[in-house]
Chains A and B, each alone.
Chain A
Amino acid sequence: MLYIKCPHCGMRPQTEFSYGGDASVKRPELNKDISDQEWDDFVYNRKSLRGKHLELWQHISGCRQWIKVERDTSTHEIFRTFRADEEVA
Chain B
Amino acid sequence: MSQNFRLENIGLINRDKKLSFKFNGKTYFGYEGDTLASALLANGVHLVGRSFKYHRPRGFFGAGVDEPYAIVQLYRNNETEPNIKATEQELFEGLEAKSVNCWPSVNFDIGAINNFLKIFLPAGFYYKTFMWPKSFWYRIYEPFIRKAAGLGVASIKHDKERYEHKYEYCDLLIAGSGPSGLSSAYAAAKNGAKVILAEDKPRFGGSLLTSDVNIGNQSGKDWADGIIAELKTMPNVVVKNRSQIFGYYDHNMLVMSEKVSDHLPSTKKYHPNKRLWYIRAKEVLISSGSIERPIVFGNNDTPGVMLSSAAKEYLKVYGVLVGRNPLVFTNNDSGYETAIEFKKHGVDPIVLDSRKNPKSEIIDEAKNLGINIKNSYVVVAAQGYKKVKSADIASISEDKKQLGKIENVKCDCICVSGFWTPTIHLASQSGNKTKFKEEIDAFVPGQSKQNERTLGAANGIFSLEETLKTSFAAGSELSKKITDNDNEVSVPNVVEKKSSQHDKFWCVPLPEGKNYKRFLDFQNDVSVSDVEIALREGYRSIEHVKRYTTLGMATDQGKTSNLNGLQLVSEIENKVVPAVGHTTFRPPYTPVSIGAIVGREVGNHSKPTRKSPMHTWHEKNNAVFVDAGVWLRPRYYKRGDENLFEASKREAKNVRTNVGVCDVTTLGKIDVKGPDAAEFLNRVYTNAWLKLPVGKARYGVMLREDGIVMDDGTTTRISEHHYHMTTTTAQAANVLSHLEYYLQLVWPELNVNVVSTTEQWAGAAIAGPKSRDLLKKLFPNSDVSNEGLPFMGYMEGDLFGVKARIFRISFSGELAYEVNVESDNGNFMWEKIMEIGEEFEIQPYGTEALSTLRIEMGHVAGSELDGRTIPYDNALEGLVSKKKDFIGKRSLQRAAFTADDRQRIVGVVPIDKKTSIPEGSHLVKDANAPLPNPKLGHISASCWSVEHDNPFSLAILKDGKNMIGEKLFVMSPLKNKIIPVEIVSSHYVDPKGERVRS
Contacts and interface: CB of A to CB of B under 8 A. Distances in A.
Interface in A12-35: 13, 18, 20, 27-28, 30-31, 34
B748 A84 contact: yes
A30 B894 CA distance: 17
B929 interface: no
B280 A58 contact: no
Interface in B554-577: none
B236 interface: no
Contacts of A43: 705-706, 891
Contacts of B746: 27
Interface in B201-258: 249-253
A13 B251 CA distance: 10
Contacts of A2: 250-251
Interface string B882-908: 001100001101100000000000000
Interface in B486-522: none
A1 interface: yes
Interface stretch (B49-57, B64-72, B365-373, B736-744): B736-744
Contact of A76 (B167, B251, B706, B744): B251
A3 interface: yes
A66 B885 contact: no
Contacts of B705: 27, 42-43
Given A1-B278, A31-B885, A43-B706, A58 B740 contact: yes
A60 B737 contact: yes
Given A1-B278, A43-B705, A64-B740, A75 B431 contact: yes
A30 B742 CA distance: 12
A74 to B, nearest CB: 10
Contacts of B167: 13
Interface residues of A, number: 27
Given A39-B890, A43-B705, A66-B740, A84 B251 contact: no
A42 to B, nearest CB: 7
Contact of A3 (B251, B748, B885, B891): B251
B249 A85 contact: no
Given A18-B737, A60-B737, A66 B249 contact: no
A66 B431 contact: no
A43 B744 CA distance: 19
A58 B737 contact: yes
Contacts of A31: 884-885
Nearest to B449: A75
Contacts of A6: none
Interface in B675-695: 683
A81 B706 CA distance: 28
Nearest to A84: B744
A56 B745 CA distance: 10
Given A1-B249, A58-B740, A84 B745 contact: yes
A55 to B, nearest CB: 12
Contacts of A34: 890
B741 A20 contact: yes
Interface string A54-81: 0010101000111000000001101000
Given A3-B252, A27-B746, A58 B885 contact: no
B890 A66 contact: no
B891 A85 contact: no
A85 B890 contact: no
A20 B737 CA distance: 10
A76 to B, nearest CB: 5
Given A30-B683, A76-B250, A65 B744 contact: yes
Nearest to B167: A13
A85 B745 CA distance: 7
A10 B253 CA distance: 17
Which of B250, B252, B890, B891 has the largest count of A CB atoms less than 10 A from its CB? Answer: B890
Contact of A1 (B253, B740, B884): B253
Interface in B376-432: 431
Contacts of A66: 740-741, 744-745
A58 B250 contact: no
A3 to B, nearest CB: 4
A23 B745 CA distance: 9
Contacts of B250: 1-3, 76
Which of B705, B737, B740, B745 has the largest count of A CB atoms less than 10 A from its CB? Answer: B745
Contacts of B884: 31
Contacts of B893: 36
B737 A3 contact: no
Interface of B: 167, 249-253, 278, 280, 431, 683, 705-706, 737, 740-741, 744-746, 748, 884-885, 890-891, 893-894
Interface of A: 1-3, 13, 18, 20, 27-28, 30-31, 34, 36, 39, 42-44, 56, 58, 60, 64-66, 75-76, 78, 84-85
28 contacts: A1-B249, A1-B250, A1-B251, A1-B278, A2-B250, A3-B251, A3-B252, A3-B253, A3-B280, A20-B741, A28-B890, A34-B890, A39-B891, A43-B705, A43-B891, A44-B706, A56-B745, A58-B740, A58-B741, A64-B740, A66-B740, A66-B744, A66-B745, A76-B250, A84-B744, A84-B745, A84-B748, A85-B744
- The 4 closest A-B CB pairs, nearest first, are A3-B251, A30-B885, A84-B744, A76-B250
